[in-house]
Structure 1
Amino acid sequence: MANEYPQAMTIAGSDSDGSAGMEADMNTFLRRDVYGMCVLTAAVAGNSYGIQASTAMPIDFVNQEFQSIADDFKVRSAKTGMLAGSAMIKTVVENVKKFDFGPLVVDPVIITKHGAMLLEEDAYQTFKELLIPLATVITPNYFEAVKLTDMEIKTDEDVKEAAHKLQKMGAKNVMLKGQHQDPDQTEVRDFVLLEDGKEFWLSEPYVNTDRVNGTGDTLSACICAEIAKGVDIETAIRTGKTWVTAAIANPVEVGHKFGPVNLVKK
């Protein structure tokens, strides 16, 4: 019967070197045994050295992408990635409300894991006010959590407070990712706050490598894929954590500088 196979959708930008964005999401969907489709919001020309150019998709085209997918497929979960600007965020919000694409995993893509801002301030405010309340799961990195909650995060108690703040903004389930900054660290700890109030830490060994492009995309896409298969939110988050750690720990040597995590099927 048509549309019985689990389907997941990414709403994201294309990264031409395949290490992040839509390409990382689609590779993850494939690895997690779901059929993936995409709404393309932007395109980036880049490689392992950096980004050389980027462009946003026309809003009318993005609206048609949503309509075309809704007219034919049964998307069981969706995720967001790079949304390019305020107008694009508003367009995504309108379409997510208009169509039933299942639970929404929001990967903020506001600030890089190194602290560089990716959105203009007006787009950031739009994201905070309109998109976060639609999130079934939100997966901010440390810097994004600091920005979104407008607080310093230094202790475990700070992390918990930040997660609760994000939940009060409307996100049902929060996975606040730990830092990957210190080469002397031995573990990466993420804090999870579920909709029912349950909270816990997830810890995996720290891997000192520069092959980490696409970690956030891969994690959120894995969670999205698991949800599409009918897995409960807690299990989906736990699976995402262990799976992305394995992808980092077993690097694939492509590119000359900052390479991708390993999404090559073995």
Structure 2
Amino acid sequence: MKQYSYPSVMTIAGFDGSGGAGIQADIKAISALGCYATSALTALPVQNTTGVKSIYPIEYMAVQEQIQAIMEDIPPKAIKIGMLHTSELVLTVVETLKKYPKTPLVFDPVMVATSGHKLIEDSTIGTIVEMLFPIIDILTPNLDEAAILAEMEIHTVEDMYSAGKKIKKLGVKNVLLKGGHLKTLELTSLFFDADDKVTAFQQEKYNTNNTHGSGCTLSSAIASYLALGESFVGAISKGQDYVHKAIFHGKDVAIGKGNGPLNHFFNPQILVKHDLV
């Protein structure tokens, strides 16, 4: 009898009890795109749609053991990394993943929540740049995070080009700079690839507060499409299209009293079967 496997994607990220962001959004997006979601929890923020109330840490050894257990049993085709809020946690994840250099790593540098709450310690940023950037394959900062990394204010698309070039110089291979926070009618994102070529993506912007977890969702979608065999440009293009439609289909739904979630399951795919090698 012929056997198959599902393309698995692991998310290494923080918790969101309200279900819109973090590891919950990651699992929803990965599943909706036909991949098999596995996970390792890095932190336990207490939050809802109105913001983050507090953050409880997970033991670093527990994070390492979670990742190792999945890598040994269900090796992922791609990995999404989200909330790493301490230097020790960054080092733990880096040391664990360095053993698997062929697995594509998508890092969403979760520094500021949609609500505006800062989610990372200042001392951690230097550790991320020095230790994590060299091993990841693509970085997906929003404008708030890009402003921190590039050490400049970003108000225009031209500023985005400058910021992206500065971030590339920090040693990361590929950067997708998301322009959703610009006060423009159109949403522009810029992809800076390993050869310093810049590809612009433009989409209609919707008038809605239901964007909680959009960054988590996008990075997970990109990882999912990489697991399905897409190139970086293809994964980014399809990932952004998925998020754009998820926002559209959830834009007029009231969930919670703050920034509501996306509709991750507007068009769910059945789990993809690959031949078992």
Rounded to whole Å, the distance in 2 between the matches of 1:214 and 1:130 is: 26
The higher relative CO (CA closer than 8 Å, separation ≥ 6) is in 2
Q: What are structure 1's unaligned runs of at least 5 residues? A: none
What corresponds to 1:85 in structure 2?
Answer: 86
Matched, 1:10 2:36: no
Rounded to whole Å, the distance in 1 between the matches of 2:106 and 2:121 is: 22
Name whichever of 11-20 and 247-256 sits farther off. Answer: 247-256
Residues 199-229 of structure 1: per-residue CA shift (max 9 Å, x gap):
1211111111111100000110000000011
Matched, 1:231 2:230: yes
Pairwise CA distance, 1:92: 0.8
What corresponds to 2:190 in structure 1?
Answer: 191
Q: Work out whether residues 74 and 101 of structure 1, in 8 Å CA contact, stay in contact via their aligned partners in 2.
A: no
Rounded to whole Å, the distance in 2 between the matches of 1:115 and 1:5 is: 37
Matched, 1:163 2:125: no
- Tell me: CA distance 1:3–1:128, structure 2 relative to 1, closer, same or farther (3 Å): farther
Pairs aligned (count): 264
- Tell me: CA distance 1:26–1:2, structure 2 relative to 1, closer, same or farther (3 Å): farther
What corresponds to 2:129 in structure 1?
Answer: 128
- Tell me: CA distance 1:133–1:225, structure 2 relative to 1, closer, same or farther (3 Å): same
| Poorly superposed stretches of 4+, deviation over 6 Å | none
Counterpart residue identity of residue 145, structure 1: A
Q: What are structure 2's unaligned runs of at least 5 residues? A: 268-277
Counterpart residue identity of residue 62, structure 1: V
Counterpart residue identity of residue 49, structure 1: T
Rounded to whole Å, the distance in 2 between the matches of 1:152 and 1:254 is: 32
What corresponds to 2:211 in structure 1?
Answer: 212
Rounded to whole Å, the distance in 1 between the matches of 2:226 and 2:50 is: 34
Q: Give the secondary structure class of the aligned counterpart of 2:42.
A: strand
Q: Give the secondary structure class of the aligned counterpart of 2:56.
A: strand
What corresponds to 1:43 in structure 2?
Answer: 44
Pairwise CA distance, 1:261: 1.0
Q: Work out whether residues 157 and 188 of structure 2, in 8 Å CA contact, stay in contact via their aligned partners in 1.
A: no
Residues 226-264 of structure 1: per-residue CA shift (max 9 Å, x gap):
001111110000111111111111114322332101113
Pairwise CA distance, 1:101: 6.5
Query: Structure 2 length as normaliser, TM-score?
Result: 0.89
Percent same amino acid among aligned pairs? 36
- Tell me: CA distance 1:247–1:265, structure 2 relative to 1, closer, same or farther (3 Å): closer
